[in-house]
Amino acid sequence: MMISTILFQLRAQNQVLKKGVVDEQANSAALKEQLKMKDQSLRKLQQEMDSLTFRNLQLAKRVELLQDELSLSEPRGKKNKKSGESSSQLSQEQKSVFDEDLQKKIEENERLHIQFFEADEQHKHVEAELRSRLATLEMEAAQHQAVVDGLTRKYMETIEKLQNDKAKLEVKSQTLEKEAKECRLRTEECQLQLKNLHEDLSGRLEESLSIISEKVPFNDTKYSQYNALNVPLHNRRHQLKMRDIAGQALAFVQDLVTALLNFHTYTEQRIQIFPIDSAIDTISPLNQKFSQYLHENASYVRPLEEGMLHLFESITEDTVTVLETTVKLKTFSEHLTSYVCFLRKILPYQLKSLEEECESSLCTSALRARNLELSQDMRKLTAVFEKLQTYISLLALPSTEPDGLLLTNYSSVLTNVGAALHGFHDVMKDISKHYNQKATIEHELPTATQKLITTNDCILASVVALTNGAGKPLLESVPYEEALANRRVLLSSTESREGLAQQVQQSLEKISKLEQEKEHWMLEAQLAKIKLEKENQRIADKLKSTSSGQGVGPAQENPTGVNAGGQEEASATAVMEPVHSTSLIGILTRTSDNEVPDVESREDLIKSHYMARIVELTSQLQLADSKSVHFYAECRALSKRLALAEKSKEALTEEMKVAGQNISRLQDELTTTKRSYEDQLSMMSDHLCSMNETLSKQREEIDTLKMSSKGNSKKNKSR
């Protein structure tokens, strides 16, 4: 319905504008016709003027001839007086005739000049009117055309928008019809289920009512005053969290109380020394009163810390902490209210004190500007504390009036408390900046004493402490780009953590295997040691038997001596030549001297060599394992990053495709609009050219008329 009315209104407006354009075109056509008629009349007058100028030329030539004849006839008349009498009579008659004719022509010429001048003036006036009217009509036509174009464009945009809305509504209606069908089916199913449930629940209700009427003597949930006596559930984790939050609030309040005490105390000290030092002269009554009030600041500030401490002590693991049970919050709220009253009481004196500083002769323009900024900051600080006190008192209401604050408003009140703390931090930053500038300017004054400089530094330190304390509850927000980068790092670190967990598991498995091998080789070493001891015992026994068998006869000594000599030669050759033992575990070189090395020293040498080789191989193996695990983790992390990069690349390519399509569509629209504008501009330029040509022609005709009229006027003057 609205679409049809809008279309009807647009059509009506379009018809009215079309009618106005047609009327203006008709008026312009009528003016053009009038201009043509005026041009025709001007041409006629010009033709008449040309004929009159031609006639005037003829008459001028005739007058010249007559004057020549007259000049010739005068000497003849002197010679022949007799004949001159008769001719003089004739010449006088002719002269009188010529004079009359000339007078008539002069009068006619004058009359024509007057008519030409009047026609010229009238033509100029009409031409000026027509030009002004033509200019106004052109402007109106351009305005109407612009309005028509704008309305046409708006009309087309509206039509397009309405068509799009129509298409969307059709699609939406189809979807709604489908949803309606589905809803009908669901409602039928739900009605069946509801009917079944109703029957089931009605049976259960009857059964429950019968049980309640028979076995339950008292129902304490029927009345709200009895519901208030219900004991809430105890959650130890919630209690620990509440105690942690209360501890943070206590630390914040303690820092705040310390900074406020210092701020008020050093402000009182500053009043005593600037702009007038109380040790030299008497300060103003206003500053005396202000100093007296500031001297009482501890009685208003310290109860804040005490109230928060009592609140913190009331929250334990055994209690249930909700707003209805935090009775000590009401005490803290009252202390905060008294401190806000104290701030309201000292605010006018503080503002007047700053004004008094501005009025002193020592105050410069820059210092006066800082004082005005501090006045505004002090007003803001008092307003922030009032706002904070309002919301804290609202939070303390449920402990005394359970219905004073609805449960749904808890979150909004806490949000406003956080906003008030944010405002407090912003105000303290402004105060810190402005007071720092003020102190810098005052330190540059020639009358600045060391006591004033020290006091200003102490006040500035207390203001900085207030700013830092107010900034503790504020959490820094992470920018979106940084959060995305952290997410990628977290994903990669998660993957690397999984890889490291796998590496740790593999390392544990390897360690267990190495422990098993270590135990195996320790057993092998024990067995080898036992075998070595047995071998040593056997060799010792053998040596004892050989030493006891030396008393055998010479018959037996000779063969043994021969054998011994052969053995000694062999052993000598073996001792003198170095023996190289090569194996997979390394190269062992033994050089024999004149004496054969002991068995134990040889075994120790072999054992130390094997142990060194084992340590070297195990270190190389561990290094290779660590490198392989590190490379594996890096490869896995890189593969994950590559997968993420591929996904982001696909998303970006899709976005690029969509952007390219949008760009091509916009370029097409731009080309079409550009062509239409170029066509319109060409049409307008052609129209302007034609109008300029007509105007140039009219100007040329007017110039010719002016030139001809000037020539005629000069000739008439000469005559």
Whether pLDDT at 492 is above 80: no
Whether pLDDT at 507 is above 50: yes
pLDDT in tens, 515-525: 777 777 877 78
Of the pLDDT bands very low, low, confident and very high (cuts 50, 70, 90), residue 424 is: very high
Rounded distance between C-alpha atoms, residue 442 and residue 63, angstroms:
109
The full DSSP string for 182-235 is HHHHHHHHHHHHHHHHHHHHHHHHHHHHHHHHHH----TTSSHHHHTTPPPPP-
Under DSSP, the state recorded for 280 is T
Residue for token pair 């810098």: 440
CA 685 to chain centre: 46
Task: Over range 109-119, report the average pLDDT.
Answer: 82
| The pLDDT of residue 627 | 77
Rounded distance between C-alpha atoms, residue 209 and residue 217, angstroms:
12
| The pLDDT of residue 75 | 63
Of the pLDDT bands very low, low, confident and very high (cuts 50, 70, 90), residue 646 is: confident
User: Of the segments 300-309, 543-552, 622-631, which one has the largest average pLDDT value?
Assistant: 300-309
Q: In this structure, are residues 380 and 427 in contact, taking their beta carbons and an 8 Å threshold?
A: yes
Task: Over range 570-590, report the average pLDDT.
Answer: 39
Tell me what the pLDDT averaged over the chain comes to: 77
pLDDT higher at 144 or 252? 252
Whether pLDDT at 245 is above 80: yes
Rounded distance between C-alpha atoms, residue 38 and residue 24, angstroms:
21
Nearest by Cα to 453 from 325, 287, 270: 270
pLDDT in tens, 316-362: 887 778 888 888 899 999 999 999 999 999 999 999 999 988 888 87
| The pLDDT of residue 346 | 94
Task: Over range 404-420, report the average pLDDT.
Answer: 87
Residues 6+ apart with CB under 8 A from 159: 7
Beta bridge partners of 587: 582
Task: Over range 171-188, report the average pLDDT.
Answer: 84
The model carries a pTM of: 0.41
pLDDT in tens, 252-309: 999 999 999 999 999 999 988 887 877 788 888 998 999 999 999 999 999 999 999 9
Task: Over range 458-473, report the average pLDDT.
Answer: 88
pLDDT in tens, 697-714: 766 766 666 576 566 556
Of the pLDDT bands very low, low, confident and very high (cuts 50, 70, 90), residue 500 is: low
pLDDT in tens, 661-697: 888 777 777 777 667 656 766 666 676 666 667 666 7
Burial class (CB in 10 A: 0-12, 13-18, 19+), 274: buried
| The pLDDT of residue 461 | 92
